[in-house]
Amino acid sequence: MAKTVKLEPIAQESTIATNGNLLSVLLNKDLDVLKECGGRGMCATCHIYVTDGMEALTPINRREQRTLEVITSCKTNSRLACQARVLGEGIVVELPPGMYVNSLQDIEALIGRRAEQSLLHPITGAVLVEAGKLITRSMMRQLEESGDNKFKVNEFFNQSSEA
Ligand code: FES
């Protein structure tokens, strides 16, 4: 039977078959989800907050738990949309603000412009550039040099699938 899921803050609703995952709800609404890891529960790009109805979702599995631990904006109601499957009614999902980027080159392409929304790291969800900030070459250099923000997306996935 179909279940209804509400999406905030865009005030939208979507129906999904029981046991379908929240990622399909987001994709049904044409939301631009990067799915950096291909829906394997290993990145931050489908991170959402569940503001109501957590008990109507499947429980968090080990891989999801491990990934959530690295996401800097993780809260107690965080889930990965690709891993959370809908079992019941009453689920309300809040989308975190900001846009995930694939690589530093994505940011480089925006040099000279202001970030329309915060630009986020695809694994950790860390804010790389705050909304409204002018993107400059020196900012790029800082991002390249700072160990935390290095994009090692492929290495990360290889490691995680071996672990
Ligand atoms: S798409 Fe990567 S964790 Fe969901």
Are residues 76 and 21 located together in one domain of the fold? yes
- Tell me the backbone φ, ψ of residue 30, rounded to 5 degrees: 60, 30
pLDDT digits (tens, 9 = 90+) for 18-72: 999 999 999 998 888 999 999 999 999 999 999 999 999 999 999 999 999 999 9
Residues having CB closer than 6 A to ligand 1 are 35-37, 39-43, 45-46, 80, 82
What's the chain's length in residues? Answer: 163
Atom of ligand 1 nearest to the CA of 35: 1
Residue 163 has pLDDT above 80, yes or no: no
Indicate whether 88 and 109 sit together in one domain.
no
Scanning 60-163, the segments in alpha helix (DSSP H) are: 62-70, 104-108, 137-145, 153-162
88 lies in the same domain as 14? yes
Condensed to tens digits (0 to 9), the pLDDT of residues 71-84 reads: 999 999 999 999 99
Residue 155's pLDDT is 73
Do 63 and 111 lie in a common domain?
A: no
Shortest CA distance to 21 belongs to which of 75, 73, 76, 61?
61
The pLDDT tens digits of the residues spanning 96-154 come to 889 999 888 899 999 999 999 999 999 899 999 999 999 999 999 888 887 655 677 77
Pocket residue to mutate for ligand 1, from 37, 69, 74, most atoms within 8 A of Cβ: 37
State whether 105 and 53 are in the same domain. no
- Domain encompassing residue 116: 99-151
Please give the backbone phi and psi of residue 45, each rounded to the nearest 5 degrees, phi first: -75, -10
Instruction: Report the separation in Å between the CA atom of 158 and the middle of ligand 1, taken as the mean of its atom positions.
Output: 15
Is 162 a domain residue? no
Tell me the whole-structure pTM to 2 decimals: 0.88
Same domain, yes or no, for 31 and 82?
A: yes
The CATH number given to whatever domain includes residue 21 is 3.10.20.30
Q: Do 113 and 85 fall into the same domain?
A: no
**DSSP states of 87-101 as a string?**
-SS-EEEEPPSSEE-
Largest interatomic CA distance in the chain: 54
Say how many domains are in the chain: 2
One-letter amino acid at 132 equals G
Q: Which two tokens stand for residue 159?
A: 């490691």
118, 67: one domain:
no
Q: Are residues 10 and 81 in the same domain?
A: yes
Is residue 59 within 8 Å of residue 2, measured between CB atoms?
no
The pLDDT value recorded for residue 162 is 57
Q: Are residues 134 and 115 in the same domain?
A: yes
Give yes or no: residues 115 and 59 share one domain.
no
Question: Are 83 and 114 within one domain?
Answer: no
Give the closest residue (by CA) to ligand 1 atom 3.
41
